[in-house]
Amino acid sequence: MMKKFLIAGSLALFMCFSSLFVGQTALTAKAESEMLNLSCKSAYCIDATSATPVYAFHETQRLPIASMCKIMTLILSFDAVKSGKLDYDTIVPVSEHAMSMGGSQVYLEAGGQYTAEQLMESVTVCSANDACVALAEYIAGSDDLFVQKMNERAKGLGCGDTLFANCTGLPKDPQYSCAHDVALMLRELIQNEKYFQFAGVWTDEFQHPEGRTTLITNTNKLIRQYQGCDGGKTGFTNEAGFCLAATAKRGDTRVISVCIGSPDSKSRFAAVSRMFDYTFANYADREVYGTEPLDEKLTIKNGKVQEISVMPEAPVRYFCKIGAEDATITRNAQFFSVSAPLKKGDKVGEMTVYKDGVEYAKVSIVSCEDAEKANYFDYCRRAAENWAI
């Protein structure tokens, strides 16, 4: 009897502690969501340069993201420009299928011809579904083939919780992503300087071939309402709720914030703004290596000079919490075997930067000066100098 009592008592005690543990976990998650008073299902905030996370709440939870999937549509459009498949002046024909998309659109004319730049701007500014499909069909041959490319590109960016079913974000199963992956996608998109030209448009008149115009207005209100915000993508469906991915820059610090599943439009803008506020108030980029010449010199083969000065192509900054800049930063420079002629700015090596012994960043090393190829008289002069020694 005593044995049964002990077993029952132990089980009750275990259940009690288990209940407390589960309750504590729930309280912890709730506390995380309330730290910034965010009203959303999922949120994530990172430094845009290093992808260092600042704030995370259910950031890998798979959720519908509505029109934020157009971030990947734009990435592939810019990829097509870089590869030569597309030019901003390229005329893109519009199919009946593209025209019939519905939802957010610029009311393209079937059979009408528009420039790629027009379509990319309309996707960025007013989330035009018809423009998305027109671009997808031109780039990949069909929107289904384009979706395959979207998923391949997402996988290459390390987006492990993302599956696209279309290029618009209109409801279609199965498709999902997460705040973490959306942040990585926006980080990739903003590598294209032209994107900021589109993202900064507040209102514009979209010109149709027959002279008709459609007024487009930016769906990302933070462009005007938040200091430093210069890009982003909204999203909404009944299934996804109100979503927003945005980027803002102050000084040398650029931040990306994402929220998914807010109950209304005002809440999503408030959530992203609070993540921005928190990050800019508590974190900063510290330059650890500038673009000054390195101590090392690069030996040049067959050159008029035998060595030249080199420097990092771009500054290396260390993102950290203000008041906690005590990380140990080291670097390792590796040089290529280089022969003259060489132009100033040519890549001649790579510098790896380590933070507390862990690889943090890589930057190209470039020549600080031209290096002309040696001629016959240079070799004679060098031989004479060596003989005199």
> Does residue 138 contact residue 102 with C-beta atoms inside 8 Å?
no
List phi, psi (to 5°) of 378: -65, -40
List phi, psi (to 5°) of 158: 85, 20
Residues 6+ apart with CB under 8 A from 295: none
Residue 228, token pair as written in the block: 């430093």
Question: Which sign, positive or negative, has the C-alpha torsion 175, 179, 180, 182?
Answer: positive
Query: Buried b / exposed e across 266-289, counting CB within 10 Å, b at 16+?
Result: ebbbbbbbbbbebbbeebbbeebb
Which residue among 67, 104, 177, 367 is the active-site one?
Answer: 67
Instruction: Single out the residue of 162, 190, 198 nearest to residue 62, CA to CA.
Output: 162
Instruction: Single out the residue of 231, 226, 282 nearest to residue 253, CA to CA.
Output: 282
Which residue among 41, 70, 221, 233 is the active-site one?
Answer: 70
CA distance 259 to 44: 7
CA distance 277 to 261: 20
Instruction: Single out the residue of 102, 106, 103 nearest to residue 92, CA to CA.
Output: 106
CA distance 189 to 191: 5
Does the annotation count 67 as an active-site position? yes
Question: Which sign, positive or negative, has the C-alpha torsion 170, 175, 180, 182?
Answer: negative
Which residue among 104, 127, 177, 273 is the active-site one?
Answer: 127
Q: Is the peptide bond before 53 cis (omega within 30 degrees of 0)?
A: no
Residues 6+ apart with CB under 8 A from 96: 110
Does the annotation count 267 as an active-site position? no
What residues are annotated to the active site?
67, 70, 127
